[in-house]
């Protein structure tokens, strides 16, 4: 290998947050490469400046200046959501030796301002990328978001408020290390209407976890039910198992009723997203109450009738269909249009629904298997206990081969 390029994390932005090692590397370089904002903070005339942020652009500048002392500059720490990760393999392909120097990240600076240890935080980048704020705070630990682009603190807090988490404590760090630095305390709901500096980080406390019981097969009486029909415990456990929720999965519960299936799906995959579609307002209210009751914050109630209510939902990995109001064919069409490989679980309590489901799934070219669940529970009869049969339910599991 020839040459030795320095990939340096310059800290939060001001010279005071640079390590002595990084300062020495910068002062000894002939070429500085980095974002315009970073280069503008360095003196003119000491080294030649090349504004570049994309790995390919940086590599071109390095190849054009091979043999000269080059220093590539990254904000924060070079090992924390840094472009150094993408550049390093390109340098190795070209036989260019490199050395990575760490810097003080905004995470460390924020933790110091808050006088809190940060080793247990969930660290998330929302800087120019999609970010699931609800999943981040749903891990049981506080979350620290690097913000930027369209996802600033207010936008992230909007996601939390929509999930019923507007009361969570939040702290915004603006322009950390600069003279205009501000540390602002509030709640997610309070930050919803505020404007923050582009250079901001957002800290949010962990979402509450009021339910410490099982994720599947929760006892029926634990749910807030009202007068809306609810899928029973034994059927629920089998249905969730068939849906097989994986980490980060998108799940639909069509005809969600009280939200019992939605809640168990959400608890089974805290990083996933569950959309509980229900046409009755009473059902929507119960879904919200059960979401809070169990801390299933990744459930999103969707008020409307399928299939129209499904049009704007993200493509599902799995769908539970518990009620269709006669629209099963249209629901299957939209599910398969969004994801032909989606797992589909249909609940049927009448022979007509079983026959219709079998025919439609066959026409869609899906393989399916039907399981009958017949459960009986004990009931008191004087000094004896008798078995009382529950209504048998068919679960039809289908997906493309």
Distance CA(346)–CA(324), nearest Å, equals: 10
Residue 140 Cα distances to 50, 77, 169, angstroms: 43, 26, 14
pLDDT in tens, 298-308: 999 999 998 99
Q: Look at the alpha carbons of 362, 364, 365, 366 in this order and tell me if their dihedral is positive or negative.
A: negative
Please name the helix (run of DSSP H) or strand (run of DSSP E) that holds residue 63, with its range, or none.
helix 55-64
pLDDT in tens, 18-52: 999 999 999 999 999 999 989 988 888 889 999 99
Query: What value does the CA radius of gyration of the chain take, rounded to a whole number of Å?
Result: 27
pLDDT band at 229 (very low <50, low <70, confident <90, very high): confident
Distance CA(72)–CA(262), nearest Å, equals: 48
pLDDT band at 1 (very low <50, low <70, confident <90, very high): very low
Average pLDDT over residues 95-122: 95
The pTM is what?
0.86
What pLDDT is attached to residue 3? Answer: 65
> Would strands 48-51 and 70-74 be described as parallel, antiparallel, or unpaired?
unpaired
Structure tokens at 183: 């540390």
What pLDDT is attached to residue 41? Answer: 86
Q: Does the structure show a pLDDT above 50 at 2?
A: no
Helix count and strand count (H, E) for the chain: 13, 19
């Amino acid at each position: 290998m020839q040459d030795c390029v320095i990939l340096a994390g310059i800290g939060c932005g001001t010279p005071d947050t640079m390590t002595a090692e990084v300062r020495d590397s910068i002062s000894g370089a002939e070429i500085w490469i980095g974002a315009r904002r970073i280069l503008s903070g360095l003196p003119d005339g000491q080294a030649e400046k090349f504004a570049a942020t994309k790995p390919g652009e940086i590599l071109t500048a390095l190849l054009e200046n091979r043999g000269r002392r080059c220093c590539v500059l990254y904000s924060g720490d070079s090992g924390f959501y840094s472009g150094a990760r993408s550049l390093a393999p390109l340098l190795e392909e070209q036989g260019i030796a490199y050395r990575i120097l760490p810097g003080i990240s905004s995470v460390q600076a924020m933790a110091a301002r808050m006088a809190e240890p940060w080793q247990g935080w969930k660290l998330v980048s929302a800087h120019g990328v999609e970010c699931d704020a609800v999943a981040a705070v749903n891990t049981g630990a506080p979350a620290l978001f690097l913000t930027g682009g369209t996802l600033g603190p207010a936008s992230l807090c909007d996601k939390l408020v929509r999930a019923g988490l507007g009361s969570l404590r939040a702290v915004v760090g603006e322009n950390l290390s600069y003279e205009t630095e501000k540390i602002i305390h509030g709640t997610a709901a309070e930050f919803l209407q505020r404007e923050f500096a582009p250079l901001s980080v957002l800290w949010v406390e962990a979402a509450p976890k009021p339910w410490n019981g099982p994720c599947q097969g929760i006892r029926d009486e634990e749910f807030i039910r009202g007068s809306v029909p609810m899928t029973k415990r034994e059927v629920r456990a089998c249905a969730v198992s068939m849906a097989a929720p994986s980490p980060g999965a998108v799940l639909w519960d069509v005809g969600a009723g009280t939200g019992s299936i939605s809640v168990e799906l959400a608890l089974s995959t805290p990083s996933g997203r569950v959309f509980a579609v229900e046409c009755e307002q009473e059902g929507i209210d119960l879904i919200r109450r059960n979401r809070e009751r169990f801390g299933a914050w990744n459930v999103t109630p969707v008020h409307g009738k399928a299939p129209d209510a499904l049009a704007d939902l993200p493509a599902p990995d799995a769908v539970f269909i518990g009620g269709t109001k006669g629209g099963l064919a249209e629901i299957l069409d939209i599910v398969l249009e969004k994801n032909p490989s989606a797992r589909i679980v249909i609940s049927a309590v009448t022979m007509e629904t079983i026959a219709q489901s079998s025919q439609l799934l066959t026409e869609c070219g899906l393989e399916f298997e039907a399981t009958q669940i017949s459960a009986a529970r004990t009931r008191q009869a004087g000094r004896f206990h008798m078995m009382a049969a529950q209504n048998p339910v068919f679960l039809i599991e289908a997906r493309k081969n």
